Amino acid sequence: MLHIPHASRVIPADLRSTLLLDDDGLRRELHVLTDWFTDELFALPDDVAVAVRHPVSRLIVDPERFVDDGRELMASRGMGVIYTRTSDGAVLRDSPRPRERAALLERFYHPHHQRLSTAVDASLRDHGRALVIDGHSFPSRSLPCHDYQAAETPDVCLGTDEFHTPGWLLDVSRSAFQSVGYTVAVNHPFRGVLVPTAHHRRSPEVRAIMVEINRRCYMDEVEGGKLAGFDACAAKTRTALVAMVAESRRHGPSGDSNVADRRSGR
């Protein structure tokens, strides 16, 4: 399953007035915080992987954050599940009242996570295991809201979880991206991976890994838009993803390889 949480730039018309930025400020914030074109970079045929995409911009609701701000590290910077600050600390919106907050979560966050859980549950039912690939991109230069200030960043960052990312999955993912010519780092500059709450630290048969593509590989980070090499980057990414999915299919629910699929006997 491909999870694409931050590709959308959609700001629903009825919510535009809740964002206090002028149009130019909003365009700038969308420019730096959107994971541009990840819905295209991480596109695979439906018979290979199901895609779950968040329909609106993370500036409205961020589906990768914990609902409970007490558990969310970025909440202290005004960038919890509902952002009140921009990437450079300016005011984005007034803190939502409880009723407004609940309405936003009910409209966007909870349905998205239900789609995510449904896809994972279907894979567990049919195959006895599930693979979540959390698809992102990141700027080559860190933003003020980021924890890292690295002079050099890799082409690809892989984020892992000690419970949900077995060694073989990390190994094949790293090898797959290195084999198409990319430099790879693990848990740098970002770490971790999203797993549906119902299975988080409970279901080892739910395997998960985050893949972050450096935007310098495929887009003009200043002006926006795709580089001439975008299609080549997308092809390399798909090649790596297919290798990851194929290796996951070799590993049964216990993690052993060459275990037959419960449904098809493969």
In terms of C-beta density within 10 A (0-12 exposed, 13-18 middle, 19 or more buried), how is residue 135 classed?
A: buried
What integer is the mean pLDDT of 116-139? Answer: 96
Q: What is the pLDDT of residue 254?
A: 60
Taking the mean position of all CA atoms in its chain, how far away is CA 254? 26
Question: Is residue 81 included in any domain, yes or no?
Answer: no
Question: Is residue 113 included in any domain, yes or no?
Answer: yes
Share of the chain above pLDDT 90, in %: 88
Stronger pLDDT, 266 or 147, i.e. the higher one: 147
What integer is the mean pLDDT of 194-208? Answer: 94
Taking the mean position of all CA atoms in its chain, how far away is CA 84? 21
Residue 201 tokens read as 């630290």
Place of tokens 């911009």: 57
CA atoms of 235 and 41, how far apart (whole Å)? 8
Peptide bond into 189 cis (omega under 30): yes
Q: Name the pTM for this structure.
A: 0.92
Question: Is residue 95 included in any domain, yes or no?
Answer: no
What integer is the mean pLDDT of 158-163? Answer: 98
Q: What is the pLDDT of residue 251?
A: 86
Question: Is residue 25 included in any domain, yes or no?
Answer: no
At 84-106, the pLDDT tens digits run 999 999 999 999 999 999 999 99
Which domain, by its residues, includes 178? 2-17+37-55+109-250
Q: What is the pLDDT of residue 15?
A: 99
Q: What is the pLDDT of residue 150?
A: 66
Evaluate whether 6 touches 55 at the Cβ level (below 8 Å).
no
Q: What is the pLDDT of residue 238?
A: 98
Q: What is the pLDDT of residue 255?
A: 58
Say yes or no to pLDDT of 264 above 70. no
**What is the per-residue burial (b if ≥16 Cβ within 10 Å, else e) of 18-43?**
bbebeeeebeebbbbbbbbbbbbbbb
Question: Is residue 141 included in any domain, yes or no?
Answer: yes
Say yes or no to pLDDT of 260 above 60. no
Question: Is residue 194 included in any domain, yes or no?
Answer: yes
User: Which residues, in sequence order, are CB contacts of 261 under 8 Å at separation 6+?
Assistant: 127, 128, 249, 252
Question: Is residue 66 included in any domain, yes or no?
Answer: no
Taking the mean position of all CA atoms in its chain, how far away is CA 28? 21
The CATH number covering residue 183 comes to 3.40.630.40
Counting the structural domains of the chain, the total is 1
Q: How far is CA 42 from CA 11, 54, 157, in A?
A: 22, 14, 14
Residue 20 tokens read as 């206090």
What integer is the mean pLDDT of 13-32? Answer: 98
Q: How far is CA 192 from CA 50, 195, 249, in A?
A: 21, 10, 22
What integer is the mean pLDDT of 24-36? Answer: 98
What integer is the mean pLDDT of 32-56? Answer: 96
Q: Given pLDDT bands bounded at 50, 70 and 90, which one contains residue 258?
A: very low
Phi-psi sector, 230: left (phi>0), alpha (psi -120 to 50), beta: alpha
Say yes or no to pLDDT of 262 above 60. no
Residue 184 tokens read as 């790879």
Question: Is residue 157 included in any domain, yes or no?
Answer: yes
Q: Can you state the angle between helices 167-179 and 230-250, rounded to 10 degrees?
A: 150
What integer is the mean pLDDT of 40-69? Answer: 96
CA atoms of 45 and 51, how far apart (whole Å)? 9
